[in-house]
Amino acid sequence: MKSGALGRVYRDGEVIMQQGEVGDCMYVVQEGRVGIYVERDGREVLLREPVEEEIVLGEMALLGSEVRSATVKAHGEARVLTVDKKAFLRRVHEDPSVVFQVVRTLSQRVRELSAEVARLRAESGKRGAGS
């Protein structure tokens, strides 16, 4: 990790954001890797590891008032910058294309989730057909 860089360094396994908490900021992964987890039936399940290009996390907290839908943890050491709503809105005012970038990220996630739902439904249909 570069010394003097912005952001906080999280150690391996350290929680960056917690499912169920009220979010008032988003995070930008500057270096390292993170894992996104959801709690199901009392245990934590790895949902995915974002790819290098997907560096913005928790942005839904800036767009709505819902609680965090997942937990994000550092996988190894990770440097993460926190961006609060006020700073985000100021940046949007300076450069409206920032909103386009966030919408593009959300759109990509919806595509991935839709593909995953279709895959799971197809798998469950195959299992159900043989019963």
- pLDDT over 60 at 4, yes or no: no
Q: Percent of the chain at pLDDT above 70?
A: 92
116 DSSP 8-state letter = H
pTM for this one? 0.76
CATH of domain 8-129: 2.60.120.10
- pLDDT over 90 at 14, yes or no: yes
Q: Percent of the chain at pLDDT above 90?
A: 40
**Domain range list for the chain:** 8-129
What is the SS3 assignment for 86-114? HHHHHHHHHCCHHHHHHHHHHHHHHHHHH
Identify the weakest region by mean pLDDT among 19-33, 67-81, 96-110: 96-110
